[in-house]
Each structure stands twice: as structure tokens, then as C-alpha cells.
Amino acid sequence: AQSVTQPDIHITVSEGASLELRCNYSYGATPYLFWYVQSPGQGLQLLLKYFSGDTLVQGIKGFEAEFKRSQSSFNLRKPSVHWSDAAEYFCAVAAGGGADGLTFGKGTHLIIQP
């Protein structure tokens, strides 16, 4: 069975600083990988996805992620964070082509310091 690990429960970053959120997955075949963001009391919004091809994928709101098969990782990055980026971030992997649902990590809570 597939699994996702987000090692950091909380991360605090100063506004304007760079950001990297870690995600490691376990899955036997080529994974379909996603990053979602959640504001308090809201649903999830898709930031970006990886299916195949270029291992560096661009998403919305200035986010990007890099797929590294050798490290089983799919880390999310942003060069300069804004106060509005404070939220919960979830990494997810899809098995079976994604039709059978997603397996999520436990999330990373991002705090932005002024």
C-alpha cells in the first residue's frame, strides 16, 4: 500500500523568505503526486500535480515542486513567501491511476512571521 510522509508538522518562515516543504512517498510504481493547500475551515485547493515528464512542475501562487525518484520525494518550494501563504499544506499520492482515491500525508502547518 502507498503512504506519504510529511516530516514537518509545523514550519515558521519570515515573510519574503524562501520556503521548502518536504514530502516523501512510498509506492511501488510510478506515482501520481499532488500538493494541496487548505485554509482554516475550508476545503482543499490544488497547487500542482506530477504525472510524468519534466520532474520540476510549476503550480499556482508561485509554487513549484520537484519529483526525485531516487529519493522518493516531492518537495514543495516557493522563492518568497507572503503572509497569505499561511495555511495547511498536504502532499498526496494516487494509486491505481487515481480513481481509487488519494492517500494524504498528515500535513504541514505553515506560519508566516512578519
Partner 1 sequence: DGGITQSPKYLFRKEGQNVTLSCEQNLNHDAMYWYRQDPGQGLRLIYYSQIVNDFQKGDIAEGYSVSREKKESFPLTVTSAQKNPTAFYLCASSKSGPGNQPQHFGDGTRLSIL
Q: 30 near 22, Cβ under 8 Å? A: no
Choose between 18 and 39: whose C-beta lies nearer to partner 1.
Answer: 39
Residue 110 sits in the site that holds partner 1 (CB under 8 A): no
Q: 61 near 47, Cβ under 8 Å? A: yes
Q: Are strands 10-14 and 108-113 parallel, antiparallel or unpaired?
A: parallel
Choose between 23 and 112: whose C-beta lies nearer to partner 1.
Answer: 23
Q: Which of 58, 84, 101, 113 binds partner 1 (CB under 8 A)?
A: 101
Q: Which of 12, 18, 42, 113 binds partner 1 (CB under 8 A)?
A: 42
Residue 98 sits in the site that holds partner 1 (CB under 8 A): yes
Strands (E), 15-63: 19-21, 24-26, 32-38, 44-50, 56-58
Q: 80 near 16, Cβ under 8 Å? A: yes
Residues that bind partner 1 (CB under 8 A): 4, 9, 32, 34, 36, 41-46, 49, 51, 90, 92, 94, 97-107
